Amino acid sequence: MKVKKSTFVILLLFSFLIFSMVNASAILGKEEQENYQLEILDEMITNEKTVNLTIVQPEDEEIIIHYENFEFPSIEKMNEQLQIVHKRNKDTTYFIDTDVPNELMLRTEKSEEPLSLSWDIQQMDPSKKARITLSAPDKDVFLIRECNTNVLEPSLSSTMQPEFIQENTVEDGIFYNKQGSQLTEKQQVANDKANAKANFDPLLNVQVVRTYNEFKSAYADAAVTKIILDADISGNTSLANRRTSIEIDGNGHLLYLGNYSLSLHASGPLQDKAIFHLHDVIIDQNIESATSYSFVGGSGAYDTARTRNWYFRFGNLSNVKGKSGIYGVARVARGYYAEITVYGTIDVSTSAENFYVGSMIYEEDTQYRGEITYYNYSIIWHVMETPSGKGYTGESMEHTIQKNATVYYKDKTNNHVNYPAVYSNFKTFTVDEGASFSADINGNAFALYYPESCLVINKNAVVNLVTRKAHAVLSYCNNNTAVIVNPGGSLFISGVTPNSSTAGNDGNGTIYGLIDFRGRNYGADAYRKYKDIDKTNSNRRLILKEPKAFDFKNALGNTSGIQARVMEIPNNAGCQFQVIDSDISLWKTTTSPDVTPDYDYLRVDELKVNGRESAQITSSDSELAASFRPNNIRRITGMNAAPEAEWIPFTDADMDYGLRVKIGTSFDGIDDETGKIITSPIYAGKGQAQATFVNSYGETVEDIETDEFGDVKVTNSDRRLNQTNQTISAEIKHGPWTSESEKKVIDVTPPEPAKVESGKITNAMKQIKGMDNEPNAKYFIEIYDESETIQASISGVVENDGTFVADLPRYLDQDEVVVIYLEDNAGLIPKEVLYPPPTNSETGNKNPKEGFDYRDTHFPPAAKYEVEDVLPDQPYLEKKVESVNGDQQVHIDDELRYSILVKNNQVEKNETNWKNIQFTDELSAYVNFDSEKADVKLNDKSLTKDEYDYDAKTHTLTASLGDLSSQESVELSFKVVVNEQALGQIIENVASAKGESPREKQFVMGPEDPTAEREIYTGISNVAKYPNGVIDGPLEIVSFPEKMDFGKFEVDEKETFVNDPDYSSDLIVRDRRIQKNEWYLTVALAEEMMLQENLKKYYLEEAIRFRKDGVETPITNVSELIFKGKSSDSSEYNITESEWSEEGDGFVLRVKSGKVKKVGDYHATLTWHLTDAYQGDD
């Protein structure tokens, strides 16, 4: 059933609005797109690119930058540029790594000021597509820039295909894409101008086709203005001859025509001028038959009327490749007298020429690669001289490569050498500013065949010409022709051109040079104009005006004679080779072109060569004029560049540093895939350049000359190593050219081994505290047991002041080993450093486990600490006791002195500290402690009562002894008195001392808590026993008559006798000995009875006597036994009361008559002695 079209238009519009809402985040509106500007600038000659990103009005947002087939700078370098160059706050605007390969994130802050960033990147594989994508964090893509074999195409799509803005319709149930492919703004402007020339509006009648028949029908309909392919289309039947303007949008699809082509009417278009526009399509044919000489306008005849009033326009076009022989596309178009313009990306490979043209234009930014694979033809053929004044579209006969376009012509046949890349009827071949033209051809790469034709190379444009076979590269085939290199342009010419004649032969056809002013006849006919050289005024010129660079290199391997000439320029023929304001270096034909030049002239004002002989050669430099002979020169270069420093990689493990001086670039050919120039550096020869350095210590080292390799090397004085991360700068001189360069010393050296506080790690530490370490280095702590098995690992970052604090998971054991690795943040050592040390990785330089020598230094091993024992776990107490009076037998009431040695007995090498030691001695109940008599001493220093404590209830003496380090000791001593309870006992006791460990009692991870309870170590003394036996009771005189008064008496002639003296106290003895043996009481006269008056002494000899059993015995100074007893118990025995009486035993006084010489008070002194070991007679 058919549905009316209008009904579906309404439904489709509603459906499309929903689609747009869903996908609004994926493609920005125009206003939003303009806020983000991303471009990639191509250096043309190399694979280096410059990325420019501008955010017109930054917001607080995150932008994902994803890149493919590009190598980006490091995050650190890009952030450094943000902060230093762009003055952005590092905390609000910065790049970060997303951990996704080839991706980074840019965080920005809101600002009224635009954010413009620029950085250099490298296309890793020039033969493959490369791209940069901007997206939101949710991966919605909003901007893409692509690069395909160094082709730079802006896009807003997230795919590699052209993007299509969807404007759709449904007809008969089939969905059609009506808008087609989208062009860049610049391409659209150019399209509008092209359409205006033919007064053509392609949107008047747009047909979307899906089948060959639909396409064929639309192509035949003169009213159809635009055909859009909505699918790959194939067919093999003829198509109508088109006579009206048409745009065919392949929409990225294949268009296969079999044996046929997009035909044009033999009489040309109906209107005065028409446009044929084919773009965004992959074209294909089958064979080259009479009706398919080309994909567009195929015909076997030179019928100019068919095409001369058409403007042909091709964009973003390629063809199916890889077909054998002539199968496939023979040519894209045959446009006799016609203008053909190409744009975008063109990649065509044809069996014959790519195009027949009247004029050929490559629009700005075009990337064109054209190959010929089968026939012995050129790539582009300007077939005939276009008549002037006729208004034909190709009337200009130009071949123009516009700004920043890249054109590469490649001859892929094996041996076909007949034609140059572009042949033959063009007037001006222009390579515009920033554009590049490369031709890699078997025969002449470039030939000037049309009279007054010229090749013009403008500023920053590059032309690369390579001839692979034995032919001239640049051939002048007509008079009044020229190659002009304008200021800033570059021309590179390379070939293997032999010379097959003798010097001076002016004959044609046998003398060859890389640049051949004599030219070559390709075969003259109505379409080919060859002019043999005019002997006097041919006016064939090669002029280089202030070139950026040039290199004309005959790479022929033969170095004998004049076989490898750079040019063939006859005498007196009006030819001219001129170089203005340029360096000029020369290699003789007998010198290899790959070594240092034979002659080197810098900043030459002018060289003019009009022939081979000296008279034909002039120069502002007379030496150059004398040395330049075309027949004898194989290579000429003018690098016109300041010398460049290629720093020889130096590190902070090296004592030396240096660089290689590059004075130019050698043109070595063209890359087969990309068409880019292949170059190699030219280095200074011995003494050809000089360098003045400022080394990493800020010292200047002046005017060091290059060696034969172009190297300049310096060794630091005193054999010092280059300083880490310091910059070494150089000023380089090559004649009048100077340049400056600097290079940072590459950090390959791990940090110094880790240092910790006090230089040790102990078994009392809760934290390892580092000091004087490399700021911001990472630390990795590994704890090994005796079997070298890792028990724990800790990591962190060193603070800016060089300290770090690492919390331990537990107290370490004495037999464990701690290894601390430090790793800096240098990152991966650049690849330029050969044989990097194994200590380096992407994260930095890390201490090795074992030390080793590297380059000029030694990398010591990571810091290794054996856990030191600082626990005072060897307390020692030694207690001694002795009798104060020195007796071996101790009795009740005797004094004893205790001395206790308290010692931290840890070995001296272990630096321990037994802290806050408290001494405790619980005394025996058999002794009494009297603070008044105890004489407490600490190391022989008497302590006051306030310095110790005695608890009488518990008999406990305590004292604070302070702290003791390893092997340090103190001695405490004091006295006690044996009490009566000790009778028959042995006095035993021990002392103790307890002090704090540096460890906390309960381990809690983190810093040490000074208030936490500590582990306690207690020492117990030996048992102090005294005496060897038991304690005995005393045999004692309880009391004795301190005074015996015999009274007063008159002296007469009679003997005086007194037997009842007055005793002041009784004589009492008590025996508390365990063994009640006999005891003996003796008395002796210590001082005789005497009267002293006026210094004169009067004695009464033998006056005091003891009477026992009626016998009186004088008391003399010899002890006299006065009583022998034996107690049955320990009670007191009163001798005075029990044994003495007036008539019985006791003391008497007997003074004989006449013995008293002087009257007065006489005194005597007696000594009493009680013993159990009397030795005299009973």
Domain 875-1026, CATH among 2.60.40.740, 3.40.50.280, 3.30.300.30, 1.40.20.10: 2.60.40.740
Name the residue ranges covered by the structural domains of the chain: 19-155, 432-442+451-525+534-640, 644-744, 765-866, 875-1026, 1035-1171
Q: Does 765-866 carry CATH code 3.40.50?
A: no
Residue 1138's SS3 state is helix
Q: How far apart are CA 177 and CA 166, in angstroms?
A: 6
Q: Which residues of the chain have pLDDT under 70?
A: 1-34, 42-47, 83-88, 90, 127, 138-143, 146-179, 287-292, 299-300, 500-511, 520-532, 534, 887-888, 1177-1178
Residue 833's pLDDT is 94
Residue 529's pLDDT is 59
ω before 424 within 30° of 0 (cis)? yes
Q: Considering the chain, what percentage of its residues have pLDDT values greater than 70? A: 89
Instruction: Give which of 551, 422, 435, 429 is closest to 495, Cα–Cα.
Output: 551
Predicted confidence (pLDDT) per residue in 881-901, tens digit: 999 887 667 888 899 999 999
DSSP string, 12-80: HHHHHHHHHHHTTTTS--HHHHHHEEEEEEE-SSSSEEEEEEEESS--SEEEEEEEESEEPPPHHHHHH
Spatial contact of 497 and 513, defined as CB atoms under 8 Å apart? yes
Number of H helices, E strands in the chain: 8, 87
Dihedral sign for Cα 596, 597, 600, 603, please: negative
Residue 117's SS3 state is strand
Give the contacts of 234 (CB within 8 A, at least 6 positions apart): 212, 254, 256, 258
DSSP letter at 748 equals -
Q: How far apart are CA 946 and CA 848, in angstroms?
A: 60
Q: Structure pTM? A: 0.62
**CA distances to 246, 888, 1072 from 884, in Å:** 136, 10, 21
Residue 646's pLDDT is 95
Residue 891's pLDDT is 85
* CATH hierarchy code of domain 644-744: 2.60.40
Predicted confidence (pLDDT) per residue in 984-1037, tens digit: 888 999 999 999 999 999 999 999 999 999 999 999 999 998 877 788 888 889
Residue 277's pLDDT is 98
Spatial contact of 1176 and 1119, defined as CB atoms under 8 Å apart? yes
Residue 1178's pLDDT is 58
Token pair recorded at residue 463 = 């032309």
Residue 651's pLDDT is 97
Q: How far apart are CA 1140 and CA 761, in angstroms?
A: 86
Residue 370's pLDDT is 97
How many Cα atoms are found within 13 Å in the side-chain-facing hemisphere of 327?
7
Residue 955's pLDDT is 95
Q: Which CATH architecture has domain 19-155?
A: Sandwich (2.60)
* CATH hierarchy code of domain 1035-1171: 2.60.40
Equal CATH topology for 19-155 and 765-866:
yes
Residue 505's pLDDT is 35
Burial class (CB in 10 A: 0-12, 13-18, 19+), 656: middle
